[in-house]
Structure 1
Amino acid sequence: MRLKFLSGVVPLVLFGFIVTSHSVIYADVQITNNVDNYSKPSLEPDYQKTDTSNSKDIAVQFLGINDLHGGLETTGPVDIGTKTYEDAGTVGRLAAYLNQAQSQFKKVTKSDNSLRIEAGDIVGGAPANSSLLAHESTMHVLKAMNFKIGTLGNHEFDQGLPEFNRILTGGEPSSQTDSLVKKYAHYSSGIDMVVANVINKKDHKIPYGYKPYIIKTVKQNNKTAKIGIIGLETSTLPSLTLYKNYKDYQVLDEADTIAKYDKILRDKGVNAVVVVGHTGVQSKDKTTSGPTVDILQKLNKIDPNNNVGLYIAAHSHQYANAQVGNTHVVQAVYTGKAYDNSWAYVSSKTGKFTKVSTHVYPVLSKKDDSETKADKKVVSIVKDADKRVKSKVNNVIGYAGKAETITGRLHNSASMENQAGEMVADAQLFEAQKAGLKPDFAFTNTGGVRSDLVVKSNKAITWGSAIAVQPFGNILQVVDMTGAQIRQALNEQYDEDQHYYLQIAGLSYSYAKDENQAYVVKDIWNSQGQLVADDQTYRVVINDFLHGAGDNFHAFKDTKIVGAIGTDTETFVKYIKAMTKTEHKVVAPTLNRKKLVE
């Protein structure tokens, strides 16, 4: 449900530092949006000293990341507040900044209470130096960075929860596992998984002994207090992973779950609560919105006296720094390009938070901050992973027509088309045609297209570049769909403000603004320019994620399967090889398949 809001500008005073913030009334809950202006905590005015009113309280720091996605060396632009930082990222530099932030916190507050928390999607949709090693290299990095608490995201289910639990705990892989994984070290990450709203359907217990919450005792100046940390999975999990991977589990409502465990913690004498939730939120254009806001709005209705002082969010890959009611909310974008740094103070008498201050910072590039050196231990883990997968990753599988990167979803056109995404759809249509399945169209979810297709200066395309674009290995299916179902699928792109959208092949269509949702589809044409009829049946290539109504594309659900052509990963590699044999080599598609009309 989307709610209208009113906004205005008010001053917010934190630790004696006045910043300009934008206060929004969202139903009955006030939202205060903060803008982060500084690139480092050491430059932050309200992190220079503690407020005198908190001198007798216990200081606690929460350092958070979210949606790492195995991005051990991923770099790119990151938007934080009103600023864009170029070439941000890499886990080596992330580790260094986390260490700096912790050292500064201790220097200012004289407190050793610092906790590192990750908010889900540690793995999945990752480059080869993580995915080819079953993401164990990523788990090794998190251990080296001293992360102790985490929760489940949807991508922890990509290979099934049993496999994620194996890499979490350092279990041995199966005998059928690739030799690269077998030869890699297997040891526990040391991360305690907290997830309160995922239960097994058979026994209604949280799987693998994960806990709904964890209680941490913090100490300072001979005083103690307790902090409760509740973990949450997104309740939209069934639309985000394959049916076989979630069918054994039920995901409970997030707000109801927080209210339940907030009361349990209160009964245990824990009055300071942090939620780490794999639920989306975004602060942009002086407003903060998203599922996390809706969850907190509901929580404040059913549990108005809740003790949640901090909510570390995830999933939507956006920047957020705001206060929703009494709860501070942060999200640090994704793939290790940023981190959130929250300072809190707890009264030893009441056990409640007396003050919480939140900020999000970029992981600056070496060019922007040459004085900060990447953490050597973390860098060595990444270099070892690179070395192990190098021969496979660097294998040249084809050549492009131009020595130019074929860009992905970070470079969408106004119609939400991107070159790599439409090339993926072209590949799926091409391979289904080769297999004799006579497909008419192909659709792929842009969330499954994870990267640009990097082309080397000699026009070469490597296996690693292709896998970065299509890392999941989803099964491709050819299904029967009526023209009306195809129209429904295309319209479903626009019922959630294009949060989920498709890349298409074999067809084009026109769309226009609509009263009931952002846009509505008008005419649909096949590749010969003929109109697609609502009452006619067509053959469509989709992945098994979409076939299960992934990303809320319900039009694809349970459509009749007439054939399959292997995985999306294999198909994309085959397509690059096939196009390389043509006169023009691999060429970026022209982005003209979706046409906005008046």
Structure 2
Amino acid sequence: MNYKALLTSATVLLAIEGLFSRNSVQAAKKGVTITTYTDTSSNPKNTNILGNSKKHAKDIPVQILGINDLHGGLSRTGNAYIGNNKYVQAGSAIRLGSYLNQAQNYFKQHNKNGYTFRVESGDMVGASPSNSALLQDESTMHALKAMNINIGTLGNHEFDEGLGEFHRIVSGKKPTKIYNSAEMNYPHTPSGLQITIANVVKRSNNKIPFNWKPYIIKTVKTPNGKKTKIAFIGILTKTMPSLTTYKNYHPYKYLDEATTIAKYDRILRKKGIKAIIVMAHTGVASTVDAQGKATTTGASVDILKKLYKIDPHNSVDVYLAGHSHQYANAKVGHTNLVQAIYSGEAYDNVIGYIDPKTHDFVKNSVKSHVFPVLSVKDDPKVKDNAKVKAIVQDADKRVASIVNQKIGEAASATSFTGRDANNKYQENETGDLVVDAQLAQAKKENRENVDFAMTNGGGVRAGLKVKADKSITWGAAQDVQPFGNMLYVVSMTGQQIYDVLNQQYKNGRTYLLISRLKYDFTDNRDSSQSYKVAKVYDNSGKELDLNKKYNVVINDFLKDGGDDFPQFAQGKVLGTATAEDDTEVLVNYIKDQTKAGHPITVPKLDRKNYIPNK
């Protein structure tokens, strides 16, 4: 979707507030002002985040520290892009814990009677590295507890193994299935995390599952005892049927986000609660173009615009987004909207002052920023969080015997690029290796004659790490393919293959990785689809016959039309492609190739070819 088409940039205001820039644009139809902020500082001390705290001596200072899309990233780091800045090797739960403490301490220095709430906006778990995945993400629950994150909502990955399994690890109950010995011996303790979810109900009875609540209310007060309340509403994207397997999403209904927020906003206001925070697993992004113009677009903006249409007088003060793994800092109407990238690379820091007389945040008192979680190299003064570090080290030790198993060798001692280093055509070395492995293993088992393989780019979570001695470990492969999806063979016509490849450019967010296929694509004059596929052919250069049927290896997620690829669901399922899940398929492929004397080589990224439309 071209979200920029939803905004009109007729009015652009530039301002400087310390190390903080701002652009405003007026929405064309609804009159809701959208203001984009561009964070330029890595430290709260160099911003306006406290506002004029002395001016609010009689008000109640409140700080919201938020994270999103941690994905069990206990040790994972990456490049964090915030505004125009790039922070190298940012992230990890170990560093995140320290930065949350630093941000709270700075707030408390100036607001000794203030309140800090640490919250998260979904995808705490799922698609996790080995030191979390092999422990059913219980090590991540322990780390969240150590970081004092105690209010959360659901993301799509909380459904990866069924919502019941997620509820189990939040509650700290024993496993109901037999997993590896490391997980079975791991301490199963309550996380203390309160889950709020307003728009997910059971299909069977229309009730919110597991006795979770649509909102959570907290009491705050002034030093002289004047009390008021603040509420947190949890929201999940209603696009769940495209984000997980049928068996995991189908037991529930996903209600419209804006309508649900409006419903509970009204209920809370009737209770006298006007300070309202929404934690929503819905995407958003703030970007700056070459001319310095900043814009904020995405589903979260659309939801807030709809909310203002339903109820222009809503009292949603802060909207903490997730899901799209991008930076955002903006204001839609009077609502501050933020998203802190993903995997602990950054955190939201929102500070405002509640008037105990009106029970609402003082007008214009709420300031929002997103800050990076810097590496030790970039910020040696901030030490690792000792509590979280101990949890991570313990997890590493418990899974070491599994993770460190050597499964094969690479041709060189260079790690393969992953999705954080896609080329301009949305290919990466690890992704192409994954689909090649899936096709090869399906052919090896000879369950069905197979022609091609495709997988969703989001299913390949990391680059393949290669050690200095060229060895590849089980843990490195698992980090690449953590889901354990089953693979199927689906019969598709050449026309259906064209259609599904074109769907990449219709949804604008997801992409496919392909094996034994190549295609040319070019510009498209249709604003709803940026590019169109001109020619699809096999590795020999033979163009696909639109009427011929081909056998394609895909995972069970795509089989059900996941990631906005409904065309896959139109194919005829012929059977399973392999006996193993996709994690073990990659492991076995690396083993087989190495044993045959063929160390793993970097694939050439030449499967998608752009041709200018003359």
| Alignment partner of 1:545 out of 554, 557, 560 | 557
More moved, 170-179 vs 279-288: 170-179
Mapping 1:113-262, distance limit 5 Å: 113-222=115-224, 223-262=226-265
Aligned equivalents of 1:394, 1:8: Cα separation in 2 = 56
| Amino acid paired to 1:472 | F
Aligned equivalents of 2:119, 2:220: Cα separation in 1 = 16
> What is the CA distance between 1:111 and its match in structure 2?
2.4
| Amino acid paired to 2:584 | E
Is contact 1:12-1:18 (8 Å) kept?
Answer: no
| Alignment partner of 2:340 out of 320, 327, 332 | 332
Unaligned runs of 5+ in 1: none
Aligned residue number for residue 316 of structure 1: 324
Aligned residue number for residue 592 of structure 1: 606
| Amino acid paired to 2:589 | Y
Q: Look up the SS of the partner of 1:550 in the other structure.
A: coil
- Post-superposition Cα deviations, 1:21-49, rounded to whole Å, max 9, x if no partner, equal 111122321111111121111332443x6
Aligned residues: 594
Q: Look up the SS of the partner of 2:388 in the other structure.
A: helix
> What is the CA distance between 1:334 and its match in structure 2?
0.4
Aligned residue number for residue 80 of structure 2: 78
Aligned residue number for residue 454 of structure 1: 465
Mapping 1:160-559, distance limit 5 Å: 160-222=162-224, 223-285=226-288, 286-354=294-362, 355-436=365-446, 437-497=448-508, 499-516=509-526, 517-559=529-571
Aligned residue number for residue 591 of structure 2: 577
> What is the CA distance between 1:112 and its match in structure 2?
3.6
| Alignment partner of 1:35 out of 29, 33, 38 | 38
Q: Look up the SS of the partner of 2:201 in the other structure.
A: strand
Aligned residue number for residue 21 of structure 1: 22
Aligned equivalents of 2:233, 2:106: Cα separation in 1 = 27
Give the fraction of aligned pairs with identical amino acids, expressed as a percent: 50
Unaligned runs of 5+ in 2: 289-293
| Alignment partner of 1:568 out of 582, 596, 601 | 582
Distance 1:339 1:501, change over 3 A: same
TM-score scaled to structure 1, two decimals?
0.97
- Cα RMSD, aligned residues only: 1.4
Aligned equivalents of 1:220, 1:513: Cα separation in 2 = 60
Distance 1:260 1:422, change over 3 A: same
| Amino acid paired to 1:483 | G
TM-score scaled to structure 2, two decimals?
0.95
> What is the CA distance between 1:559 and its match in structure 2?
2.1
- Post-superposition Cα deviations, 1:266-299, rounded to whole Å, max 9, x if no partner, equal 1111011110000000000110000000000000
Is contact 2:53-2:110 (8 Å) kept?
Answer: no
> What is the CA distance between 1:447 and its match in structure 2?
0.4
Aligned residue number for residue 291 of structure 2: none
Distance 1:18 1:401, change over 3 A: closer
| Amino acid paired to 1:504 | I
Is contact 2:178-2:184 (8 Å) kept?
Answer: no
> What is the CA distance between 1:324 and its match in structure 2?
0.7
Is contact 2:354-2:361 (8 Å) kept?
Answer: yes
- Post-superposition Cα deviations, 1:380-414, rounded to whole Å, max 9, x if no partner, equal 00000000001111110000011111111111111
| Amino acid paired to 2:115 | N
Is contact 1:420-1:453 (8 Å) kept?
Answer: yes
Aligned equivalents of 2:267, 2:189: Cα separation in 1 = 33
